[in-house]
Structures are given as C-alpha cells and as structure tokens.
Amino acid sequence: MALIQPRTLKGFRDYLPEAMMPREWIIDVARRVYRSYGFRPIDTPALEYLEILTGKGSDETDKQLYRFEDHGGRAVGLRFDLTVPLARFVAQHQQQLGLPFKRYHIATVWRGENTQTGRYREFMQCDFDTIGVTDLTADVEMALVVNDLFLALGVEDFTIRVNHRGVLGGMLEKLGLADRSAAVLRAVDKLAKIGRQGVAEELSRAAGATPAQADDVLALASIAGDNEQTLAALKPLVAGNATGECGVEELADLVAAVAAAGVPATRVKLDPSIARGLDYYTGVVVETQLNELPTIGSVASGGRYDNLAGLYTNQKLPGVGASLGLDRLLAALEQLGRLPAAKTPAPVLLCMFDGPRRNDYLKLAARLRAAGVGVELYPEPKKLGKQLQYADRQGFRAALVLGDAEFAAGQCQVKDLQSGASATVPYNGGDAGAIAAEVRRLLEQ
C-alpha cells in the first residue's frame, strides 16, 4: 500500500506546542478580561443552515463561505464569524437569556479567502458582545474591554481607531448615495489597501459615484488630526443631516467617556476612514492597530449592529461587540519576538534514575502538583545527560535530580536550567514543601 503524503490544505495550519502554548495563553487572558466585565460564555454549532449565514456579512463573505449539502440533503455552511450565529442564538433563546445579555465566545471560524501573513482560512475569534442595549455605555465598554485586553497581554503601544457608521451614512444621504451605501462602505474599507485612486475607481465602478461624489467621500475618509480637530472637521460635512449629526455627537461622547475611565487620549483615535466591510454594522465601529507593526492590519475589530437579529425575530435586539483576531495577533507577536520559547506547560522536569523507585517519583510529582507546581515526570530511567537534553529542548525552567545518593541522604537537587546552578534542599519522602519553595523562587526570577 502506497504511503499517503502528510500535508495540510492551503490556508490551514498545524500548531506545534511552541505555537499552541502562547495561543492558549492569549485565550486564557481574553477569557479572564471578558469575565471581569460580566460577559458569560456560550457556544454554537460550527455548521448552520445556509440561510442563517448568507446575506448577513457582505457579498465577499458569501463568496468565501464553505458550503455544501449534508447527508440529510440540507444546504449548510461553516460559520464565517461568531456574530451572525449569535444573532440567531439570541433570537432563538431570548426568553431563557433575558436582556441585557452579555456573552463571550471563543471558537473557530472559516473563510475561503486569499491567504496572507497572519490570515488563514481556518482561524479563531475571541468575541464579546452586549445584546439588548441601545445606550452608548455599551459602545464605550467595548472600547474599554479592548484596551484592558491588550494591556493584560502586555501590549501597550496600540491604537483603538474609532468611527461611526452614522457619520458615513449621513454624508451618503446628503450626496444621494444612501441606496448604494453597502458598496460605498466596502470601497472605503479598502482605503489602506488600494489607496485613494483605487477607492475612487471602485466607488465609480461598484457604486456608480460621480467623480465629485467620490471626492466628497474620500475627503471625509481622509480627515486627519487629533480627536478635537477630527470632530471639528466632521461637523460641517454632515451639518443638516440628523443621522450624521447624531454620529458625530456619539463619537464626541465616546471619546469623553473613555477618557473619564482612564484611557490615555492618544490611545483612542477618531478615524473617518474606518468603515468595516460587513454590512450589518450600524453605529460605532472600531479597529485596533499595533503601532509597532501597522502592516499586520487590525488585531481587534467590532462595532454596533442594531438590526442583525431582526432577520430572525420581530423583537428589536440591538447589539454591540468586538472580536480579538487571535491568529493575526499571534503572527504579529511572533514577528515582534514577543512570544515565549517554552514548549511545555509544566515548568519542572522530574528526572527518573531508578526504575524500582518509580512509585517514589510518582509520589513526589503528585505532592508538588498538589502544592501548585507543574511537574512532568520523565517516563523511563535513562542517563541524566539524556534527560537534561530533553529538558533543555522542551524549555523546562528547572529539573529535579534524585538518584540513589539523594534518596539516601534525604535530599533533592533543584537545577536551574537557565544558569546551570543547583541548590540542594531536604526531602525525606514525605513533605515536598522545601522543593516547592525553591522551585517557586526560581520561577519568580
């Protein structure tokens, strides 16, 4: 029988332990931050009826859907994000959930898109959303969660870029382009990728905008300056249009509220070029940029979507939330050299020298774990050099050495695998407190 060549599909990837460990760390941090704000966990199926998914994001996401017919002859698709399934979920379970409902959802999604650095066809999103609230407080909290999340990840040099779909919509109403807003917004969303001329051409081709209309749209999207300057420049562009004026007012309120919560003014920047390409956004929209690596794109994005759940229920269920792009952030941190090199979650390797003493080693490992110290027991007796090579290759912080001499003397060697130094601590086969204390001392260095 011919061997099958081991390979992965384009746009998909395997995660080795050294990549998976920081991935799980980011997930743990996100979960902790989300919970601190009162967001509760949910999960939904990877597969949905096709009608649930299509027509909810954009023409582009419809094209990227992985769709097929299941064994029951039903048209189904793999979810392309976690927000559309959330809208279906809330509409279906609203009586049990109650409002407002705050949820987080960390799960895999799929899009058949062109691959690039930090972007795959299978990737994980870390979402949080508030459903059933129209007050701007929920939008402000969205920005605060993003801020706290990156700080908790040890990232301090980042910018949360904010815009409002109402500002864009108001101007389009004034220009007579409101009926083509989806095409206009998708074109504006590509400004950073294809430049001013490229957007102008797409506005003409996809939205039927005249050169004068395209110039006005690009003038709005090109406004620059600090937040006060941006607000001042926006007001005359939307003057006389209630939708646009409300959007500018909400942006001003959000900037003031975030500052009142202690976020530095330089970290939240109003940016009229932010459009977010998904059709369901209706209000505040955000994108988060790592200032050290802006070319990686947005690593956390979201906004308000007041009408999405209306496709599944007559009850109004406004929502607002954002998503951490886990895999893109991982690619960025890897490029910046910020990921730890460890390949093992347990910081300590307990070496095994004597097979007949297996139970003694198992007892020590169990007592250390009970004391809160992660320990991996080498699974068979081998020469110390070979076991230490394994420890070094896997990134252990410390190794515990107990041979016949150590057992006889009632001692254990705690070897620092970074400096090479060793400390001898007492161990009589009962209390492992001294070993645990020495390991904690090493781990705190």
Instruction: Decide if 145 contacts 225 (C-beta within 8 A).
Output: no
* Domain stops at, among 335, 360, 395: 335
Residues 137 and 252 in one domain: yes
Does residue 188 carry a pLDDT above 90? no
Q: To the nearest 10°, the Cα dihedral for 87, 85, 16, 114?
A: -100
- Helix (H, G, I), strand (E, B), or coil: what is residue 383? coil
Residues 6+ apart with CB under 8 A from 321: 83, 127, 128, 129, 130, 142, 302
Pairing of strands 158-164, 268-270: parallel
In a domain, 172, yes or no: yes
Q: Average per-residue pLDDT in the chain? A: 91
In a domain, 63, yes or no: yes
Number of residues in the chain: 445
Q: Which residue has the higher pLDDT, 215 or 436?
A: 436
Q: How many CB atoms lie within 10 A of CB 424?
A: 14
pLDDT digits (tens, 9 = 90+) for 77-125: 999 999 899 999 999 999 999 999 999 999 999 999 887 765 789 999 9
Instruction: Decide if 86 contacts 107 (C-beta within 8 A).
Output: no
Instruction: Decide if 55 contacts 77 (C-beta within 8 A).
Output: no
- Residue 427: which CATH number? 3.40.50.800
What does the pLDDT read at residue 96? 94
Residues 202 and 325 in one domain: yes
Mean of the pLDDT values across residues 12-24? 89
Residues 68 and 108 in one domain: yes
Residues 318 and 399 in one domain: no
What does the pLDDT read at residue 29? 95
Residues 247 and 365 in one domain: no
Q: How many CB atoms lie within 10 A of CB 317?
A: 22
Q: Percent of the chain having pLDDT more than 90? A: 64
In a domain, 182, yes or no: yes
Residues 118 and 176 in one domain: yes
In a domain, 414, yes or no: yes
- Judging by beta carbons within 10 Å of its beta carbon (0-12, 13-18, 19+), is residue 209 exposed, middle or buried? buried
What does the pLDDT read at residue 277? 64
Does residue 429 carry a pLDDT above 90? no
Q: To the nearest 10°, the Cα dihedral for 48, 52, 54, 58?
A: -110
What does the pLDDT read at residue 117? 65
Partners of residue 105 on adjacent β-strands = 127
What does the pLDDT read at residue 70? 95
Does residue 438 carry a pLDDT above 90? yes
- Both tokens assigned to 49: 């009826």
* Domain stops at, among 304, 335, 366: 335
Mean of the pLDDT values across residues 285-296? 93
Is 0.75 surpassed by the pTM of this model?
Answer: yes
Residues 127 and 242 in one domain: yes
**Cα distance from N-terminal residue to C-terminal residue, the chain:** 54
Q: Percent of the chain having pLDDT more than 70? A: 98
- Residue 49: which CATH number? 3.30.930.10
Residue 203's pLDDT band (boundaries 50, 70, 90)?
A: confident
In a domain, 97, yes or no: yes
What does the pLDDT read at residue 225? 92
Residues 301 and 364 in one domain: no
Considering its fold, how many domains does the chain have in total?
2
Residues 371 and 266 in one domain: no
Domain range for 426 is 348-443
Residues 251 and 320 in one domain: yes
What does the pLDDT read at residue 334? 85
In a domain, 12, yes or no: no
What 3 state SS string does 75-143 have?
EEEECCCCHHHHHHHHHHHHHHHCCCEEEEEEEEEECCCCCECCECCEEEEEEEEEECCCCHHHHHHHH
Does residue 221 carry a pLDDT above 90? no
* Domain stops at, among 335, 370, 404: 335
What does the pLDDT read at residue 212? 87
What does the pLDDT read at residue 341? 66
Residues 58 and 164 in one domain: yes
Residues 326 and 352 in one domain: no
